[in-house]
Every structure is written in structure tokens, then in C-alpha cells.
Structure 1
């Protein structure tokens, strides 16, 4: 089993409930076990600002899936939960991103690991630091990365 970090986001409908359903559904899969989940955080939109605030969270999982298979499982779950394609960085019912997998460095058309912008995004770092401050990405711990981003508008809910 390989340890991995996932990020969740939603800003349509019952966002908190949707993230909870997504985490529970992943944990119910035979090849994925959720070992930690962060609190939920209200965060301002990133990229496209003219939309509702997001609810974000992170989870640590252990999985026997290969990186691209884990991504496929996450994207299939998004569809099963009702996500329809939309604008990049636009409103979404659910978004699940694979951020990191232990011992994996990957760059493909579908997935780059570690996630190339995770260390710039407070809406990822704040919940991830809650559950895995010691996780090392790009030579620094998540706990150190989170200290270097502006997280003023992010609040735990």
C-alpha cells in the first residue's frame, strides 16, 4: 500500500456534505483506505473570483492503486456524485485532486506528482498541514510551506 494525499473542493449545493460523501465513498473502495481527513475550510475562489466561496479539505489515504488508476478512481467518483464538465477553476459540485504519492514523481498529460502548484495554494496547504505537517514536498515539509502562503481569508468551519 502506498500513502497518498488528496484534495477536495466544492462550491455548489451542500459543499460540506458533498466532500463528506466523497471521502466516505473513497474509503469504501476496496483499494483505498482513508487514514486521516482534515477539517473543512471555507476559502475564497482561486483563479476565477466571480463565484461562490469554496469548501476545501484534504485526506491521506493508503492505496494499492497506481497513480493514474487512483486519479481515474477519483474522477469516476466525481461523475458518480454528479459533477459535470465546466470552466477551468469555475464552480463545481465536487473536485478531487491527487496531490502527492509517497515515493512517486510523475509527469504525464493526465497527472503530475507531486501536484505542481500545491505549495502555492493556501486552500490546499492549510488543510493538508492539519493532517500531515511532516509530509515532505519539494524538499520542505508541508508545515514549512504553509508558513509561506497568505492564508488570511481561509477559515475552519
Structure 2
């Protein structure tokens, strides 16, 4: 079984619903959810003129190889109404593979670890919560150290349910 870290994000509609529904779908189709981070409310990254995201990190134990994991993620996103219109645009659900064991994979459709992980505070905060000492297989730094060195200063706050 492989350990993978998946980052979920939503900034359209009922954001909590989409995170919860995606988590349920991942648990039934991908593998056992072994840990969940707190939910964070984060400013949009990349294309900043859009609503804030809710983000949550899942640690999942899976028997799926990386390419099949991506296929399942894409199907779940589509079933929940994800439309890929504008890069980094608003979306009901986004699921990113951050790590898959200590694998380094560079395919046109899938790069592991996530290629912009080190530049995204919204990904590093929940990673540091669940796996602060996990070592990035390319940069050879812990998630904790990546967060300290992260150039992103956008706010990432623990979500308070309204």
C-alpha cells in the first residue's frame, strides 16, 4: 500500500459539502483515509480575483498506482461538477496529488511531487499539520522547512464554521 497526500480545495457553492463529498468518494474508490487536516480558508492563488477557498489535506493509504489514482480523482471531480475552463479559476472541487510515497514522477499528465508545492502556503500549512517531518523527495527538505522558506504570503487561516 502506498501513502498519498491529497489536497482538496473548493471555492464555489457549498464549499464544505464539496470537501466532504469528495472525501467520501475518495474513501470508497481510492483507499483508506488515515488522516485529515483541519479545514483552512485560503486566499485564491494564481488568479487572485475570486472567492476564498476551503482547503483540506487527506492522507490516504491506497493500492492504486499513481496513474489510476489520477484517473479516479479526475472522475470524482467531474462527477461533482468540476469544469476546467480557466487555469487556476474558481471551481467546486479540486483534488491535487501532493506526494505518493517518496516517488518522483514526471509524466506529461502527472508530476509527483506536485511541481508547485513549495510555493503554496495553502498546501504546506496542512502538510505541516499532518506530516511536518516528511521529506520532499526532490528538494530533500521537510514540509516544515519548505513552509519556513515559502515565498507565498497569502493568508491561510483555520476555517471557523459560520
Smaller-chain TM-score bracket: over 0.9
TM-score, length-scaled by structure 2: 0.91
| Number of the residue aligned with 2:62 | 63
Equivalent position SS for 2:57: strand
Equivalent position SS for 1:100: strand
| Number of the residue aligned with 1:155 | 157
After TM superposition, give the deviation of residue 24 of structure 1 in Å.
Answer: 1.6
TM-score, length-scaled by structure 1: 0.94
Equivalences for 1:1-157 in 2 at 5 Å?
1-29=1-29, 31-137=30-136, 138-149=139-150, 150-151=152-153, 153-157=155-159
After TM superposition, give the deviation of residue 151 of structure 1 in Å.
Answer: 4.9
Counterpart-to-counterpart distance in 2, 1:113 and 1:28: 23
Corresponding residue pairs, total = 156
77-86 or 65-74: bigger deviation: 77-86
Deviation per CA, 1:64-91, whole angstroms, max 9, x where unpaired? 1111110111110001111122200000
The answer to whether the 8 A contact 2:10-2:94 is kept is: yes
The answer to whether the 8 A contact 2:132-2:143 is kept is: yes
Unaligned runs of 5+ in 2: none
The answer to whether the 8 A contact 2:43-2:154 is kept is: no
Counterpart-to-counterpart distance in 2, 1:75 and 1:152: 27
The answer to whether the 8 A contact 1:43-1:54 is kept is: yes
